[in-house]
Amino acid sequence: MEKVNYAAIDIGSNAVRLLIKSVNEDANDELFTKVLLLRVPLRLGEDAFTTGEISEVKARKLLRLIKAFRQLMKIFEVVDYRACATSAMRDARNSKEITSKIYKKTGIRIEVIDGQEEARIVYDNHIENLLSREKNYIYVDVGGGSTEISFISGGELRSSKSYNVGTVRMLKGSVKEEDFNALRQDIEAIAKDYPDLIIIGSGGNINKLFRLANVKDKKAAILPVESLQKLNAVLKQYTPKERRRQFKLKPDRAEVIVPAAEIFLEVARQAQSKHIWVPTIGLADGIIDNLYTQRLEKESKA
């Protein structure tokens, strides 16, 4: 069977991503192979979390970006795709106007998904297949506008919640104390009933933090909370501009990496966890996994 390409467009509050993966059902090892990953730091949350809408300038840039993504999907002969927008577009008053215009100009339909759907898609990486049924996990995906937390026990997804606590929101001072308290209290309640929680970290920031941390065994993808605390203390000593030079970070990453570390550390405190497992998975991966699963279901019913 020849390789088939699928695409995911993830329109986040900090960055917009295009991920293309090929599926090779005859492969003996990995079913999915990454073909292309593009990340553009459009920072839609800067507008949405302060003024309540996306500016004309950023709306035009998003349109140009989606046009470029459409051409790339044609070049790579993508058979199916899904485009999802998350927290910034959820908050923006003019999101329907923007997505309608993009659809008319490009034919690309953008879904503005709610937090529950976002958490479900992230979970749809079939991460549960990698987990022990005897252990308890919280899957934490930190984005620019929101944090999705899924509780997994006995190999099953027990709960999934989205909180308006994100890195760009924190930078803009737009995180409400009641939202952060809700996150804290919910994790504390889970930890009380299910001790020895294992945190699974998702998102570009935790992957970058893991690479920057002084972890001896990188292959295990385990980030000790103590190492994250030490790294965060060092990162906070520098301005974003200094972090760019010192740690070779992209400009937008240099700004959001400290708020991301703070969120993960708060989660670890409430969960009483000493380690964070950092597999390289995210929303875009979940979208593609879901597209492939839907295709198999259709074929089985035919």
Q: What is the CATH number of the domain that holds 238?
A: 3.30.420.150
What was the pLDDT predicted at 97? 97
Question: Distance between CA atoms of 286 and 139, rounded to whole angstroms?
Answer: 13
Q: Residues 137, 261: one domain?
A: yes
Q: Which residue has the higher pLDDT, 131 or 166?
A: 166
Residues 81 and 184 in one domain: no
**CATH number of residue 18's parent domain:** 3.30.420.40
Position 27 scores a pLDDT of: 55
Per-residue confidence (pLDDT) for residue 126, from 0 to 100: 57
pLDDT by residue (tens digit) across 66-81? 999 999 999 999 999 9
Q: Are residues 149 and 246 in the same domain?
A: yes
pLDDT band at 32 (very low <50, low <70, confident <90, very high): confident
Confidence of residue 218 (pLDDT cuts 50, 70, 90): low
Of 51-60, 96-105, 140-149, 225-234, which range is least confident? 140-149
HSE value, Cβ hemisphere, 13 Å, CA-based, for 255: 15
% of the chain beyond a pLDDT of 70: 92
CA–CA separation, 170 and 154 (whole Å): 34
What are the angstrom distances between the C-alpha of 69 and each of 11, 76, 273, 283? 12, 11, 40, 17
If asked whether residues 16 and 54 sit together in one domain, one would say yes
State the residue range of the domain holding 14.
4-116
pLDDT bracket for residue 132 (50, 70, 90) = confident
Buried b (16+ CB within 10 A) or exposed e, 261-297: bbbbebbbebbebebbbbeebbbbbbbbbbbbeeeee
Same domain? For 9 and 101 the reply is yes
pLDDT of residue 129: 61
Asked if the structure places residue 294 within a domain, the reply is no
* Pair 95, 179 in one domain: no
User: What is this structure's pTM?
Assistant: 0.84
- The sign one gets for the Cα dihedral 114, 116, 117, 121 is positive
Q: What is the model's pLDDT at position 92?
A: 95
What token pair was written down for 139?
A: 């899957």
Residue 128 CA, chain-centre distance (Å), reads: 17
pLDDT exceeds cutoff 90 at 282: no
